[in-house]
Amino acid sequence: MTRAASLLLALAVGLAAVHTTTAVCDTYVVQAGDTIGAIASMFGVQLSALEEAQTQCNSGYTAGGLLQFQQTLCLPPYYPACLNVKTAGDNKDCKYYTVQGGDTLASIASSLGLALLDMQSANPDTVSLQPNDYVKLPGWNDSCPAPGDTTSCRVYVAQEGDSLASIAISFSVNVADVQEVNPSLSTAADTSAVLQPGQRINIPPFTAACGEGVVVPKPVAGNCFGYEVQTGDTLFDIATMFQTTAALLIEVNPELAAGGVLSPGSQVKLPPYDPAVCVNGITLRPRPATFTPVQPTPGAATPTGQSGPDLGITEGDFAAPTPSDAAAAPAPAPSAFKRRRLI
């Protein structure tokens, strides 16, 4: 074999040992024995660039620090817009972006270092974008699951003092089920053992199709509550009862946006509400004993300066009512409010 052929063969072998990072906003889950330098070499990136990416994405790793088993690292190049990118299923090509206010396909492509033509090809039917729409990123294919469906692919990143038992309680799941979907945890047998901050804990139900899953926060008091509608209740009444606004009620109950009727016995979710962590249902809150429904005066002036009982909700109508406003204003009727759409 000639010297040139030998050099080419050695180069090919070396390249085969290096991972390539072609997917946008790519990540890596730390394995036993990994070091930050070894990971940089594995993906063929500069150590300084890898460490800078961790600072930008707030992965929990600081330069010179120790890696935690199953900690998720961001791989360069990292863009601030990657905070809005998630993976659907276990295929890293199945990435999607959650639209923010003012976004266009062109601005999204630019913020992620992608070609606009590739974005348009991945989303051929896109006409306009609304906040919370989902935009598929280049590489998306027919095998990808629907974007945004994260109820069975939740991952919680352990914080200081967390244990499997405390996490199970927070997510209202059985601790044995938590152990079952986290077989690689060395502390799985001891549910009270304190976990290392940064460890990724799968939350049941969690299947192999979830891949890396989607990171969700620990449920907090107040985000899984609801109210059972009683005869005569209006959206305005419920907002007043629980010190919220019609806008926020519609946001977590989009079925009310198109003029849905409040039927006695139906349940209305109360904000703040996160469907990603409330998969085990809601806890009903009682009607406040001190609440007295406001009886609107027919033809009285409304917050928008109109008169008459048939009102549409405008941006100004969403402010919490004061006692004087409540006496003068009838319950606003829901108008067309944008639902989350799948692009």
pLDDT value at position 135?
Answer: 92
pLDDT at 166: 84
How far apart, in whole angstroms, are the C-alpha atoms of residue 18 and residue 178?
34
Residues 6+ apart with CB under 8 A from 31: 69
CATH number of the domain at 80-136, out of 3.40.50.920, 3.20.20.140, 2.60.40.650, 3.10.350.10?
3.10.350.10
Q: Note if the pTM is more than 0.75.
A: no
* Residues 58, 211, 148: CA angle, nearest 5 degrees: 75
Residue 41 half-sphere exposure toward CB, CA atoms < 13 A: 7
Q: Which residues contact 65 (CB under 8 A, 6 or more apart)?
A: none
Q: In this structure, what token pair is assigned to residue 291?
A: 């609440």
Report the CATH architecture of 154-215. Answer: Roll (3.10)
Task: Return the pLDDT at 220.
Answer: 63
Return the minimum-mean-pLDDT range out of 60-69, 149-158, 274-283.
274-283
- Which class does domain 220-338 fall in? alpha beta
What confidence score (pLDDT) does residue 173 get? Answer: 78
| Sheet architecture: strand order including 200-203 | 200-203, 154-157, 214-215
Nearest Cα residue to 207 out of 91, 89, 96, 95: 89
Query: What is each CA distance from 84 to 63, 133, 211, in whole angstroms?
Result: 24, 11, 18
Categorize the per-residue pLDDT at 154 as very low, low, confident or very high, splitting at 50, 70 and 90: confident
pLDDT reading at 48 higher than 60:
yes
What is the pLDDT, as a whole number, of residue 108? 95
pLDDT at residue 67 above 80? yes
Average pLDDT over residues 17-35: 73
**40, 96, 187, 212, 232 from 20: Cα distances, Å:** 11, 20, 33, 18, 62
Cβ partners under 8 Å of residue 151, min gap 6: 275, 276, 279
Which residue spans of the chain are classified as CATH 3.10.350.10?
13-74, 80-136, 154-215, 220-338
Please give the average per-residue pLDDT across 171-184, as a whole number.
Answer: 84
Looking at 3.10.350.10, 3.30.110.70, 3.40.50.300, 3.40.50.12780, the CATH number of the domain 13-74 comes to 3.10.350.10
| Ramachandran category for residue 253: left, alpha or beta (phi over 0 → left; psi -120 to 50 → alpha) | beta
Task: Please indicate whether residue 241 or residue 219 has the higher confidence score (pLDDT).
Answer: 241
Separation CA 67–CA 10 (nearest Å): 31
| pLDDT value at 221 more than 70 | no
| Long-range pairs of 109-112 with CB within 8 A, sequence gap ≥ 24 | 111/79, 111/80, 111/81, 112/24, 112/25, 112/79, 112/81, 112/82, 112/85, 112/137
Quote the pLDDT of residue 340. Answer: 38
Residue spans of alpha helices (H) in 35-114? 36-42, 47-57, 105-111
Task: Name the pLDDT band for 40 (thresholds 50, 70, 90).
Answer: very high
Q: What is the pLDDT of residue 247?
A: 83
What are the Cα distances from residue 16, in Å, to 6, 40, 47, 76? 16, 15, 20, 20
